[in-house]
């Protein structure tokens, strides 16, 4: 490996950096300054170093990355080849041409990446979220293909406004908005956490499905993708409230898939594993954390929001033609552990 330091750039993966004799030393030294061990980077080994700037939400600055790259290359900036390590999103031009898709949770994380991909593949997106500013930023970035609707999916009036914004033409629905819990097991769950998880994750998704289905039934076609979770597949990925709510999302998906399949409407779900987004569950339970933490240390690396959007848009688009009622784990293989 000696003598290959010049190959390290901001686009090399964190894994490449850690495995490199000089790069690894530099990165470990940087972490040590903040009292952190290199193990903290295990979940993001497959990400380019550059991606840490966004993912760390300010903890790793662009200056820090630039400085690391310079030091790993003897003070000389390496040539930027434009090559990015790891997976890259590949746009399928025209895949959503002529389609209007409602995407909830579009201001952040998986919903934002999904809305963006659909718009860049020719679709019209009704982008829904509680958060007005980042939603407007998405619309400004993507232009007229995106209609932002600031609203709460748990409120019937807001759901009516969302459907109205689609002008009676809803070809697709991506129910992405959701909230996490606090890792509490049943005997510690507060009513507030339980009710919030069910209100947003279950009631909200249900209300939007109910609101868009008449237009889909009239058109004789439609595609719905609900975002479940690894917590919909097992009992060890979250607390009781989130786990139960995401199991309910699976039930909603399967029931609708069965009911509407003959009418040309496909209803599927994606079950994400760990994804680097704005969702940062906090643990309010030593008991819950004690049970879950040892298993979390063994799960596959986290994915990016764009990687989840790839799974969601696959199911939403005609590429998912023969899939109805599928619960697709998009988790790097966590579900087979």
Interacting residues toward ligand NAD by CB under 6 A: 104-105, 107-111, 128-131, 152-154, 176-179, 200, 204, 227, 229-230, 272, 274-275, 277-279
**CB of 53 or CB of 177, closer to ligand NAD:** 177
- Indicate the residue among 84 and 179 with the shorter CB distance to ligand NAD: 179
Instruction: Tell me how far, at minimum, the Cβ of 248 lies from ligand NAD, in Å.
Output: 12
Is 218 noted as a catalytic residue in this protein? no
Which residue out of 20, 171, 196, 246 is catalytically annotated? 246
Give whichever of 15 and 272 is closer to ligand NAD, judged by the CB atom.
272
Strands lying side by side in the sheet with 100-104? 146-150, 124-129, 100-104, 172-175, 222-227, 265-272, 327-330
Q: Which is nearer to ligand NAD, 68 or 208 (CB)?
A: 208
Q: How would you classify the pairing of strands 100-104 and 124-129?
A: parallel
Q: Is 246 a catalytic residue?
A: yes
- Least distance to ligand NAD, CB of residue 195, Å: 12
For ligand NAD, the closer CB: 41 or 308 = 308
Q: In angstroms, what is the minimal distance from the CB of 302 to ligand NAD? A: 7
User: Among residues 47, 183, 194, 242, which one is catalytic?
Assistant: 242
Of 145, 157, 54, the closest CA to residue 103 belongs to 145
**Phi then psi dihedrals of residue 14, to 5 deg:** -60, -35
What minimum distance in Å lies between the beta carbon of 162 and ligand NAD? 9
Residue 172 CB, shortest distance to ligand NAD, in Å, is 16
Give residues with Cβ within 8 angstroms of 254, minimum separation 6. Answer: 325, 327
Burial class (CB in 10 A: 0-12, 13-18, 19+), 161: middle
Instruction: Match 């933490």 to its residue by tokens.
Output: 293
The beta-strand segments (E) located in the chain are 100-104, 124-129, 146-150, 172-175, 222-227, 265-272, 275-276, 303-304, 327-330
Which positions are catalytic? 242, 246
């Amino acid at each position: 490996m000696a003598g290959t330091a010049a190959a390290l750039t901001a686009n090399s993966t964190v894994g490449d950096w850690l495995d490199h004799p000089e790069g690894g030393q530099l990165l470990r030294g940087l972490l040590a300054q903040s009292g952190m061990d290199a193990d903290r980077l295990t979940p993001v080994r497959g990400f380019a170093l550059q991606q840490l700037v966004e993912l760390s939400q300010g903890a790793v600055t662009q200056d820090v990355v630039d400085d690391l790259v310079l030091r790993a290359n003897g003070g000389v900036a390496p040539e930027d080849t434009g090559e990015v390590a790891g997976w890259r999103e590949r746009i399928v031009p025209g895949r959503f041409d002529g389609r209007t898709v409602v995407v909830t949770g579009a201001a952040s994380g998986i919903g934002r990446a999904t809305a963006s991909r659909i718009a860049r593949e020719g679709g019209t997106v009704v982008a829904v979220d509680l958060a007005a500013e980042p939603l407007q930023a998405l619309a400004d970035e993507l232009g007229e293909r995106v209609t932002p609707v600031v609203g709460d999916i748990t409120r019937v009036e807001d759901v009516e406004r969302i459907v109205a914004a689609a002008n009676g033409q809803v070809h697709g629905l991506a129910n992405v908005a959701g909230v996490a819990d606090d890792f509490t097991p049943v005997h510690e769950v507060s009513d507030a956490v339980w009710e919030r998880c069910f209100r947003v994750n279950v009631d909200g998704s249900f209300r939007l499905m109910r609101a868009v289905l008449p237009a889909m039934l009239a058109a004789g076609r439609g595609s719905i993708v609900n975002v479940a979770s690894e917590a919909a597949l097992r009992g060890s990925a979250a607390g009781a409230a989130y786990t139960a709510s995401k199991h309910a999302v699976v039930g909603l998906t399967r029931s609708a898939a069965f009911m509407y399949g003959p009418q040309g409407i496909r209803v599927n779900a994606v079950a994400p594993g760990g994804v680097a987004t704005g969702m940062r569950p906090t643990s309010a339970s030593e008991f819950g954390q004690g049970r879950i933490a040892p298993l979390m240390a063994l799960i596959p690396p986290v994915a990016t929001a764009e990687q989840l959007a790839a799974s969601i848009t696959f199911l939403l688009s005609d590429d998912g033609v023969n899939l109805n009622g599928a619960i697709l784990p998009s988790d790097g293989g966590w579900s087979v552990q």
